[in-house]
């Protein structure tokens, strides 16, 4: 893998594959250092909504960080257009292993030889979807939380990742206002997400058992922790379909996990209440915020 200076990398675009809730936020952060970001999604409506979100939020992100400079995010509808001369690609598609396997095979085939291929998967280790990838040394997990408010990033090897790539990302990512932390061995849920998954699961369980309501749990959580958003509000932001996919993945690895959280999530997902992106989730007051999905 060739090495490049920060100036050389800054002259090349970043590509984000998937323009949903996290994809558009990731694109925005990489556009806060004056560069070009290409945002790929097959849906023209999703691309338009994503670009509208970036246009509305990027100026505030840039203003909040000394030295930040407003760059550009453009929408594209082919992988070839997204990957052209990109130094970094971040996959942010739904949590489906078959989809990620197919996509990373395409990314490896199309992207320039020195392009880093990263996955924003919330729960799947990149080792699980590189069987069709020839150059496994350039693939890794790069998991974001909810930027620009939650700016930590997990980095984790696929088992064959060139260590120089991880060191390069540790050095480069802070330029974009995000903070990388390396998982030094494979871990489902990486570092923070393992703990967060347990919090979400137990919150869902106490509601599934009828002990409390989402609103009361969030209110108590805010009082005791001082956070701005409660657990159920945060799940609504992520998307309850995504939360369910993640919980199903954890359950596939550990069949002893309680079923109540998955049953409760199914009640909402099966009726189209996915959270902010559909206007309704555990809460019903997202009508004006649904464009940020």
* Structural domains for the chain: 6-182 (3.40.50.720), 192-292 (1.10.1040.10)
- Name beta bridge partners: 154: 143, 181
> What's the whole-number mean pLDDT along residues 244-254?
90
pLDDT band for position 7 (cuts 50, 70, 90): low
Pick from 96, 101, 25, 19: nearest CA to 60: 25
Q: What six digits make up the tokens of 115? A: 């392009």
Kindly tell me if the per-residue pLDDT of 230 is higher than 70: yes
Kindly tell me if the per-residue pLDDT of 292 is higher than 50: no
| Cα 100 from Cα 132, distance rounded (Å) | 11
Q: What six digits make up the tokens of 31? A: 């556009």
Q: What six digits make up the tokens of 194? A: 């393992």
Which one is predicted more confidently, 136 or 249?
Answer: 136
Task: Read off the pLDDT of residues 146-184 as tens digits, 9 standing for 90 and up.
Answer: 999 999 999 999 999 999 999 999 999 999 999 999 999
Q: What is the mean pLDDT of the chain?
A: 93
């Amino acid at each position: 893998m060739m090495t490049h200076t920060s100036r050389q990398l800054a002259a090349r675009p970043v590509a984000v594959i998937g323009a949903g809730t996290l994809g558009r936020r990731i694109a925005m952060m990489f556009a806060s250092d004056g560069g070009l970001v290409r945002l790929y999604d097959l849906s023209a409506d999703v691309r338009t909504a994503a670009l509208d979100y970036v246009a509305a939020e990027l100026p505030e992100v840039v203003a909040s960080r000394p030295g930040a400079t407003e760059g550009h995010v453009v929408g594209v509808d082919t992988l070839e257009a997204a990957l052209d001369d990109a130094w970094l690609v971040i996959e942010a598609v739904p949590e489906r292993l078959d989809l990620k396997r197919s996509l990373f095979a395409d990314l490896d085939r199309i992207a320039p030889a020195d392009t880093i291929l990263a996955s924003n998967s919330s729960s799947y280790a990149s080792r699980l979807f590189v069987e069709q990838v020839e150059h496994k040394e350039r693939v890794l997990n790069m998991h974001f939380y909810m930027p620009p408010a939650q700016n930590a990033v997990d980095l984790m090897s696929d088992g064959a990742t060139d260590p120089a790539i991880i060191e390069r990302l540790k050095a480069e990512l802070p330029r974009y206002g995000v903070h990388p932390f390396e998982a030094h061995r494979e871990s489902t849920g990486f570092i923070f997400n393992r703990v967060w998954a347990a919090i979400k699961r137990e919150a869902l369980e106490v509601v599934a058992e009828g002990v409390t309501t989402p609103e009361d749990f969030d209110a108590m959580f805010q009082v005791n922790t001082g956070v701005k958003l409660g657990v159920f509000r945060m799940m609504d932001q992520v998307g309850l379909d995504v939360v369910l996919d993640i919980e199903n993945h954890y359950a596939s690895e550990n069949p002893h996990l309680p079923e109540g959280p998955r049953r409760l999530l199914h009640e909402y997902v099966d009726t189209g209440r996915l959270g902010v992106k559909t206007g309704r989730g555990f809460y019903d007051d997202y009508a004006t915020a649904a464009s940020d999905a």
